[in-house]
């Protein structure tokens, strides 16, 4: 076990699978006490149990990030049982690729409700808890390369991830004016193979080097959830103590060109 | 836990003080074999002993980053002694504040030679050496917050650091086209109170206090803040990170 976030209390949303699960595993590997949250109780419990089996400290709590009451309860519970909150990873997110002609307002709202509003609520209650923990902490919000550059058929997703990106900078500045040391940064994954992207692109494309899916990516391949988790770990740890309002791309060079 | 840069052969330029020295030491703490380079022999020897104290091995080499011949000598000696090159940190840099009307052509050259020519030569020659390394390599360039946004009285420095920023993105494309891959990323420090700044501003409390107040995290950065970012980008944990800009500025550039 490492010690880069030893003893820190962390909440990770969307932690049952994909990026959230890898992030939870990575933080636990480096000594954090991880509260995994998700709407999927069964998979979430299993993810937490798998971490405990490897000697990590983890527990699961059900959370629908779009419900304010659920956030209030979660944060109250975590403060009651652990006494503080040091790390919050607003990772829960959904994606939809659809032409604007076919995209309904309901679909647009649904994507934004989970990705942007969910992150807003997490920040709101996370910051409040961190203020009660001595005014320090690290919030990592999961944006995307599509929060920085456009992508065809991604109007709803890009809107939500662009919102996450700039909401994070605004919050970083606001906290600075309050002379507090809660850091807020964003991570921008490119194409990462997860259950979410397998749902979008199928399970076949991943082994085909040269697939058109990889055309925008300099390294010519998809990344792994562990690659994103390592970036989150860096931002969560005290090694990134001078980073706030910043963006960390884990995109194989997608946005460099 | 294994160390994050275990046995990675790492060249750090401008390692005789400030960010470069802290980077050399942090890399050594993480298990890297560190070749610390620079012009000041006495300070370089001190960095060399700090590398040993950090529990790793390495050495100081005299190096003028503006000279291709000097680069060839440093890289050859690195490969002769340690067999390969895994990581290059193009840290050596010069700084200047001056209104545009007073900026001379030689000032401009001075900003450009170390910051831009040095980074170009290092990236080019390291990439050639890393192509012979089955595991490829990682290059970390040092730009600045001023390589992303403009500042008054800093046309030459901003232009040079802007060149480093954008050079990195293009070099990342070349590094991705080579087999094995070479990753190229860039760090943008905010105000890190090092000898480079003291040399230009003096130890002036008013300036320091202004910089602190202008930084959301309400402090100046330290060389270790930047060195920690280098360790991440140099390590295999960042194997899917290339062409990226890591801003470490206490939030100063967020507005």
Give the separation between CA B32 and CA B9, rounded to whole angstroms: 6
Give chain B's mean pLDDT: 96
- With contacts defined as CB-CB under 8 Å, which chain A residues touch B254? 169, 172-173, 244-246
Of B159, B144, B138, B147, nearest in space to B226 by CA: B144
- Strand, coil or helix: what is B203? coil
Cβ of residue B180 closer than 8 Å to a chain A Cβ? no
- Each residue of B203-231: b (16+ CB within 10 Å) or e? eeeeebeebeeebbbebbbbbbbbbbbbb
Q: At what angle do helices A41-53 and A18-29 cross, to 10 degrees?
A: 30
The model's pLDDT over B92-131, given as tens digits with 9 standing for 90+, comes to: 999 999 999 999 999 999 999 999 999 999 999 999 999 9
Q: Has residue B1 got a pLDDT over 70? A: no
Q: Has residue A210 got a pLDDT over 90? A: no
List Cβ neighbours of B231 (8 Å cut-off, separation of 6 or more). A239, B4, B5, B26, B27, B30
Q: Token pair for residue A115?
A: 């990705």
- Each residue of B124-140: b (16+ CB within 10 Å) or e? ebbbebbbebeebbbbb
pLDDT at site A198: 94
Nearest C-alpha of chain B: how many angstroms from A43?
Answer: 26
Average pLDDT score over residue span A220-239:
98
Q: Token pair for residue A28?
A: 């636990």
Nearest C-alpha of chain B: how many angstroms from A111?
Answer: 26
User: Which of the four pLDDT bands, split at 50, 70 and 90, describes residue A4?
Assistant: very high
User: Which of the four pLDDT bands, split at 50, 70 and 90, describes residue A207?
Assistant: confident
| ipTM attached to this prediction | 0.95
- With contacts defined as CB-CB under 8 Å, which chain A residues touch B241? 227, 231, 248-252
Residue at token pair 């992508």: A151
User: CB–CB of B255 and A173 under 8 A?
Assistant: yes
Give the separation between CA B20 and CA B34, rounded to whole angstroms: 11
Considering the entire predicted model, what is its pTM? 0.97
Q: Has residue A81 got a pLDDT over 80? A: yes
Cβ of residue A245 closer than 8 Å to a chain B Cβ? yes
- With contacts defined as CB-CB under 8 Å, which chain B residues touch A251? 240-241, 244
Q: Has residue B164 got a pLDDT over 80? A: yes
User: CB–CB of A177 and B222 under 8 A?
Assistant: no
Give the separation between CA B73 and CA A175, rounded to whole angstroms: 49
Cβ of residue A218 closer than 8 Å to a chain B Cβ? yes
pLDDT at site A195: 93
- With contacts defined as CB-CB under 8 Å, which chain B residues touch A173? 216, 251, 254-255
Of B113, B249, B130, nearest in space to B187 by CA: B249
* B180 preceded by a cis bond (ω within 30 of 0): yes
Mutate to test the interface with B, among A246, A247, A248, A257 (most CBs of B within 10 A): A246
Average pLDDT score over residue span A226-239:
98
- With contacts defined as CB-CB under 8 Å, which chain B residues touch A243? 225, 229, 247-250
pLDDT at site A135: 93
User: CB–CB of A250 and B240 under 8 A?
Assistant: yes
pLDDT at site B15: 98
Give the separation between CA B59 and CA B44, rounded to whole angstroms: 9
Least confident range of A205-209, B5-9, B74-78, B126-130: A205-209
Instruction: List, as one string, the DSSP characters of A62-130.
Output: E--TT-HHHHHHHHHHHHHHHS---EEEE---------TTT--HHHHHHHHIIIIIHHHHHHHHHHHHH
Phi, psi of A106 (to 5 degrees): -60, -40
Q: Has residue B2 got a pLDDT over 90? A: no
Handedness of CA A154, A159, A160, A165 (dihedral sign): positive
Nearest C-alpha of chain B: how many angstroms from A29?
Answer: 10
User: CB–CB of B228 and A249 under 8 A?
Assistant: no
How does DSSP classify residue A48?
H
Average pLDDT score over residue span A72-81:
98
Choose the closest CB to B173 out of A3, A240, A257.
Answer: A257
């Amino acid at each position: 076990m490492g010690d880069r976030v030893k003893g820190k209390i962390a909440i990770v949303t969307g932690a049952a699978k994909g990026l959230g699960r890898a992030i939870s595993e990575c933080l636990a590997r480096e000594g954090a006490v991880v509260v995994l949250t998700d709407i999927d109780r069964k998979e979430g419990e299993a993810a937490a149990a798998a971490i405990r089996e490897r000697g990590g400290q983890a527990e699961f709590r059900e959370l629908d990030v779009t419900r304010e009451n659920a956030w209030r309860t979660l944060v109250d519970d975590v403060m009651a049982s652990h006494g503080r909150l040091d790390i919050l990873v607003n990772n829960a997110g959904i994606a939809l690729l659809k032409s604007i002609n076919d995209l309904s307002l309901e679909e647009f709202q649904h994507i934004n409700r989970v990705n942007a509003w969910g992150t807003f609520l997490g920040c709101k209650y996370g910051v409040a808890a961190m203020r009660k923990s001595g005014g320090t902490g690290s919030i990592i919000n999961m944006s995307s390369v599509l929060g920085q550059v456009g992508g065809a058929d991604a109007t709803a997703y890009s809107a939500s991830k662009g919102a996450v990106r700039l909401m994070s900078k605004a919050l970083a500045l606001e906290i600075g004016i309050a002379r507090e040391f809660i850091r807020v940064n964003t991570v921008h994954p490119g194409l990462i193979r997860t259950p979410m992207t397998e749902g979008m692109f199928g399970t076949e494309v991943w082994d085909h080097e040269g697939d058109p899916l990889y055309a925008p990516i300099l390294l010519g391949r998809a990344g792994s959830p562990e690659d994103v988790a390592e970036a989150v770990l860096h931002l969560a740890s005290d090694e990134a103590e001078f980073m706030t309002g910043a963006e960390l791309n884990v995109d194989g060079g997608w946005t460099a060109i | 836990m294994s160390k994050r840069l275990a046995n990675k052969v790492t060249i750090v330029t401008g390692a005789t003080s400030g960010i470069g020295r802290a980077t050399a030491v942090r890399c050594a703490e993480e298990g890297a074999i560190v070749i610390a380079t620079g012009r000041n022999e006495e300070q370089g020897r001190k960095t060399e002993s700090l590398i040993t104290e950090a529990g790793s091995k390495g050495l100081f080499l005299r190096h003028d980053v503006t000279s291709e011949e000097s680069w060839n000598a440093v890289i050859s000696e690195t490969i002769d002694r340690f067999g390969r090159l895994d990581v290059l940190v193009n840290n050596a840099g010069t700084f200047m504040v001056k209104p545009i009307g007073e900026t001379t052509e030689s000032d401009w050259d001075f900003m450009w030679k170390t910051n831009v020519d040095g980074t170009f030569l290092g990236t080019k020659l390291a990439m050639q050496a890393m192509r012979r390394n089955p595991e490829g390599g990682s290059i970390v360039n040092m730009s600045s917050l001023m390589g992303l946004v403009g500042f008054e009285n800093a046309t030459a420095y901003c232009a040079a650091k802007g060149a480093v920023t954008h050079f990195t993105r293009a070099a990342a494309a070349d590094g991705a086209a080579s087999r094995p891959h070479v990753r190229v990323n860039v760090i943008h420090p905010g105000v890190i109170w090092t000898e480079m700044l003291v040399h230009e501003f003096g130890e002036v409390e008013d300036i320091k206090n202004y910089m602190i107040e202008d930084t959301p995290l309400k402090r100046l950065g330290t060389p270790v803040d930047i060195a920690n970012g280098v360790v991440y980008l140099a390590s295999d944990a960042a194997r899917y990170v290339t062409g990226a800009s890591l801003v470490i500025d206490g939030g100063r550039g967020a507005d």
